[in-house]
Amino acid sequence: MSIGLFMGEMIVLYAIALVGFISRKIGVLDDRANDVFTQLLLYITLPALILFSLDIPFSTTMVKELLWLLTMSIYILALTVFIALWARKKSTLSTKRRSVYEGLIIFGNQGFIGYAVSYILLGEQGIIYVTLFNLCYLILIWTYGIYLFPGL
């Protein structure tokens, strides 16, 4: 894939965002539009894209790739947790702020742009990769992430 094709697709994504921004600024979209679009993305569009991408032929190569990706996801997240723990111990922040600091190091923004870029670069198979990679992230954020912030 050429960088030009990738940049062209990214320009389209930014153009869509710009249309939304301008629509909001000139009053075409009101305050409730953010909530509506967020719910549309979270509960309809993203699940539909994930289900659509699962319609691929089964192969042992795909299983091997997914197992490798799952292993890499766990490795990267575990490495990030250890780096965050080390940074937390070295920090001079208060106890509450240390938890936030650690959480910010571990839990980056796993937003929708990753799905779009993955789809652009790898097609439907890319959505499967991103979904599996984010599965480990979601498990970590709903377990260790909740553990980090009990008193906040």
Q: Decide if 49 is inside a domain.
A: no
- For 41, which DSSP code? I
Q: Decide if 37 is inside a domain.
A: no
Q: Decide if 17 is inside a domain.
A: no
Task: Work out the mean pLDDT of the chain and round it to a whole number.
Answer: 84
pLDDT of amino acid 113: 66
Percent of the chain with pLDDT over 70: 95
Q: Decide if 119 is inside a domain.
A: yes
Q: Decide if 32 is inside a domain.
A: no
pLDDT of residue 7 exceeding 90, the answer is no
Mean pLDDT value of segment 92-96: 84
Is 128 within 8 Å of 53 (Cβ atoms)?
Answer: yes
pLDDT band for position 107 (50/70/90)? confident
pLDDT of residue 44 exceeding 90, the answer is no
What are the backbone dihedrals phi and psi of residue 118, each rounded to the nearest 5 degrees, phi first?
Answer: -65, -40
Nearest-angstrom CA–CA distance, 126 and 130 = 6
The tokens describing 146, both together, are 């909740």
Q: Decide if 9 is inside a domain.
A: no
pLDDT tens digits, 24-40: 889 888 888 888 888 88
Q: Decide if 69 is inside a domain.
A: yes
Q: Which of these, 114, 107, 105, lies nearest to 132 by C-alpha position?
A: 114
The tokens describing 151, both together, are 């008193």
Nearest-angstrom CA–CA distance, 60 and 84 = 36
Nearest-angstrom CA–CA distance, 125 and 39 = 25
- Domain span at residue 142 reads 57-148
pLDDT band for position 112 (50/70/90)? low
Mean pLDDT: which of 56-65, 82-91, 135-144 is highest? 82-91
pLDDT of amino acid 152: 57
Is 131 within 8 Å of 46 (Cβ atoms)?
Answer: no
| Total number of domains constituting the chain | 1
pLDDT of residue 121 exceeding 90, the answer is no
pLDDT of amino acid 29: 85
Q: Decide if 136 is inside a domain.
A: yes
Nearest-angstrom CA–CA distance, 24 and 68 = 42
Q: Which of these, 114, 106, 104, lies nearest to 134 by C-alpha position?
A: 114
Q: Which residue has the tokens 């992230």?
A: 137
What are the backbone dihedrals phi and psi of residue 122, each rounded to the nearest 5 degrees, phi first?
Answer: -120, 0
pLDDT of amino acid 75: 95
* pTM score over 0.85: no
